[in-house]
Structure 1
């Protein structure tokens, strides 16, 4: 059965964080296609190489190497403990310059003029610090806060490339939060952004549409109107190859 499984082929077109729900499904579905040890090994490789989800990596290591008969767990390697310390330290360092921006936006220390607000915030704060903080939160698996901070950043961003990157992150975070209505809105917004990037090369647009199609599957298979949405998207001329 494993030779017919499409997980590996799909994973190549996804953010690595979106692969974990697929691995979770393979791990817990009845009539497993792969042995649990194989899935745990795949998870651990992905966690170590592609994310900062250090606690999840340590828990996966314990599941993979634990002695289930005697209920004895092999100690977590020192390099994983050291890595966790590095991640926590880095998270704190990124949170500090982003905190004043978040505070200003939360407490609405802004006037009615949107253009003035954006200009004022750019003059007073390090706006890119908010993006870096949100991105690191996402890498750590803190998807709710990452989604919220990416939303804040997008409202202030003046770079089309950075805005597109933030939009990808926001879409992925809402999928991983299982917020299907919001995720569908983000999907449609991202589709418009990809279509409107006239300066982008045809190859780049093609790659972005492929990524979008793969991400959309999570939404359409969980949203109430997903069966209509997947037909509408996949049969558009720009998505038929």
Structure 2
């Protein structure tokens, strides 16, 4: 199989130009909290020089309460400065004062909530909890709201673990629907930043329950929330193995969220393509994958005039235009994007491997006879190893085919229909050069 060495090599000038051209960071930023934007900017060091990245980080976080980090960034940008600006010094004093105030205001409440006997008294009924805490421990609505304020402050200060705990306590006790939604967003972000993916997915589910409910009657507000949800969801989805990518497919293909992508953020089709292709290796013959692929082809074709990049172009080339040469070329561009895309960089190898497998599968389905010796040589394999490779392809894709050892060919016996019949009709005139292009693509699968 492929060692994906093309992802390990440094960016060439050509790849750098491609990566910059298709960099989605400017499109994604408006739909992320600044604390979530930070890792995206930090990872863009391959695209931009160090000073530019440091300046972007400073401008991004200078209005937060992360005063130590801000001072460090200022020093990086101003190595000759002997003193910090007056506003930074004053801000540090203000933050220290606010921290002390909020600690004092929430100390009693947090102490009460930490007691085992109190936790045993709390129930699902928030009204009961409120009455119990107020009657038995003197905790008022103001005290509960102080937990929210302190949670916000700690999040802005960069103490995400503390922020998550405070916001969770607030959510358990509060009956203020609007603030509960804000607190859920805050906890969702905190769990993302601290890499607590399971909890992050739980908060995502809670947000969806609120946003997708009939109680949200403003369609524009609902569209706004859904647009933010699918951007934030990229973090846990691309960090929880194939299960996360399956969840991404389920969410993005659901009618309300697919409509949101088409209306507000068609660039997220990049990640839908990545998820579908990356999950194809173990399920490419399953009805679920076939339906996803069919739906993906449809939406890529619908949106090709609104958005395209090498990933969507790959789908278009292979399944809409049936152009193997173009599909091979687009995969080369995809490799440049994967090296620099924050969400794709960790799982890019599986995408490239599976994409080449899909090219091979389509090729086998639309040709009646394949020269096994030619295939083996093009893959730098012995005839026996080439036979094993094509046998695995046939088995995994459940093709009705037979390897004829006497003349060194593979004969495809299966009836062809649907999309593959279209491919046959459109590729009847392909020359030998087209075959060589495909075989070159397949060779990378086994290097």
TM-score of the aligned structures, taking structure 1 as reference length: 0.90
Distance in 2, Cα, partners of 1:24 & 1:122:
46
Task: Please list, as runs of the form range in 1=range in 2, the aligned pairs for 1:58-69 lying within 5 A after superposition.
Answer: 58-66=71-79
Residue 189 of structure 1 is matched in structure 2 by 206
Residue deviations 1:118-141 (CA, integer Å, cap 9, x gap): 223356221101110011000101
State how far apart, in whole Å, the 2-side matches of 1:61 and 1:187 are: 35
User: 1:119 aligns to what?
Assistant: 131
Partner of 2:57: 43
**Mind listing any 5+ residue stretches in structure 2 that lack a counterpart?**
1-16, 260-447
SS in 1 for 2:199: helix
The answer to whether the 8 A contact 2:168-2:187 is kept is yes
Query: Counterpart in 2 of 1:55?
Result: 68
Match of 2:190 in 1: 173
Cα distance in 2, alignment partners of residues 171 and 103 from structure 1: 25
Q: Confirm whether residue 4 of structure 1 aligns to residue 28 of structure 2.
A: no
Distance 1:133 1:213 in 2: 27
Task: Judge which range, 118-127 or 159-168, deviates more.
Answer: 118-127
Could you say which residue in structure 1 is the equivalent of 2:97?
89
Structure number, greater radius of gyration: 2
- What whole-Å deviation, never above 9, does each CA across 1:182-204 have from its counterpart, x for those lacking one? 11111111111211252440100
Identify the range of structure 1 (185-194 vs 167-176) with the bigger mean alpha-carbon deviation.
Answer: 185-194
Task: Tell me if structure 2 keeps the 8 A contact 1:62–1:74.
Answer: no
Give the Å deviation of 1:46.
1.3
Q: Between the two structures, name the one with larger relative contact order (CA 8 Å, sep ≥ 6).
A: 2
- Per mean C-alpha deviation after superposition, the further-off stretch among 129-138 and 74-83 is 74-83
Identify the residue that residue 15 of structure 1 maps to in structure 2.
Answer: 33
Q: Is the 8 A contact 2:201 2:236 kept in 1?
A: yes
Residue equivalent to 1:202: 219
Q: Deviations over 1:85-112 (max 9, x none)?
A: 1111111111211111111111134253
Name the SS of the counterpart of 1:8 in structure 2.
helix
Instruction: Output the aligned Cα RMSD.
Output: 1.7
Separation (CA, whole Å) in 2 of partners of 1:74 and 1:221: 43
How far apart in 2 are the matches of 1:39 and 1:197? 43
Worse overlay, 106-115 or 18-27: 106-115
2-side partners of 1:198 and 1:101: how far apart? Answer: 32
Matched residues, number: 231
- Contact between 1:47 and 1:54, CA under 8 Å: does it hold in 2? no
CA 74–10 in structure 1, closer or farther in 2 if over 3 Å, else same: farther
Of the candidates 126, 129, 140, which is equivalent to residue 157 of structure 2? 140
Of 163-172 and 186-195, more deviation after overlay is shown by 186-195
Give the corresponding residue for 1:78: 86
C-alpha displacement of 1:26 = 1.4
Structure 1, unaligned stretches of length 5 or more? 68-72
> Does the CA-based 8 Å contact 2:216-2:222 persist in structure 1?
no
Q: Secondary structure at the match of 1:12?
A: helix
Contact 2:42 2:57 in 1 (8 A): no
Tell whether the 8 Å contact from 1:121 to 1:127 is kept in structure 2 after alignment: no
- Provide the secondary structure at the position in 2 that maps to 1:196: coil
Query: How far off is 1:113 after superposition?
Result: 5.4
Instruction: Give the Cα–Cα distance (whole angstroms) in 2 for the partners of residues 109 and 117 of structure 1.
Output: 13
Distance in structure 1 (CA, Å) of the matches to 2:219 and 2:131: 34
Residue 109 (structure 2) pairs with residue 101 (structure 1): yes
Q: Could you tell me the TM-score, scaled by structure 2's length? A: 0.50
